[in-house]
């Protein structure tokens, strides 16, 4: 475990635990009762599903470099929703982030000026 945080939002308390095992990093959000709400795992671009990689390759950010990729799984009533993927990219003096569902549909995108200098951006 590398970190632990208690958050209160809209009157609801959640706990976020940051875990790291070698290069594998994961954030787990849970209720005070211990029920898992969400798991975010940092993954390599090679671990992205083919449909997600195709979505990036066919987007206007195809020439950008992937700086960070996360797999996010939300849980409701102890059932896992299909994963979504959040991808941070940089290129041509710009930074962008994409949220892509497991079928390869871009559900959210954001672009801003300025490339990071080797740092991973938190969106």
pLDDT in tens, 4-24: 999 999 999 999 999 998 888
25-35 residues labelled b (16+ CB within 10 A) or e (exposed): eebbbbeeeee
Half-sphere exposure of 78 (CA within 13 A, CB side): 3
- What are the tens digits of pLDDT across the range 60-103? 999 999 999 999 999 998 899 999 999 999 999 999 999 999 99
In a domain, 73, yes or no: yes
pTM: 0.84
33 SS3 class? coil
45 SS3 class? helix
In a domain, 121, yes or no: no
What is the C-alpha end-to-end distance of the chain, expressed in Å? Answer: 22
Q: Which structural domain, as residue segments, surrounds residue 92?
A: 3-113
- The domain total for the chain is 1
Report the residue count for the chain.
123
């Amino acid at each position: 475990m590398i970190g632990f945080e208690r958050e209160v939002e809209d009157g609801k308390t959640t706990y976020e635990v940051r875990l790291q095992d070698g290069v594998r990093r994961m954030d787990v959000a849970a209720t005070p009762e211990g029920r898992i709400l969400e798991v975010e795992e940092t993954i390599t671009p090679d671990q992205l599903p083919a449909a997600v990689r195709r979505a990036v390759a066919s987007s206007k950010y195809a020439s950008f470099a992937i700086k960070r990729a996360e797999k996010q799984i939300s849980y409701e009533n102890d059932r896992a929703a299909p994963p979504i993927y959040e991808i941070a990219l940089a290129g041509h003096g710009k930074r962008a982030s994409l949220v892509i569902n497991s079928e390869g549909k871009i559900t959210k995108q954001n672009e801003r000026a300025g490339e990071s200098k080797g740092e991973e951006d938190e969106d």
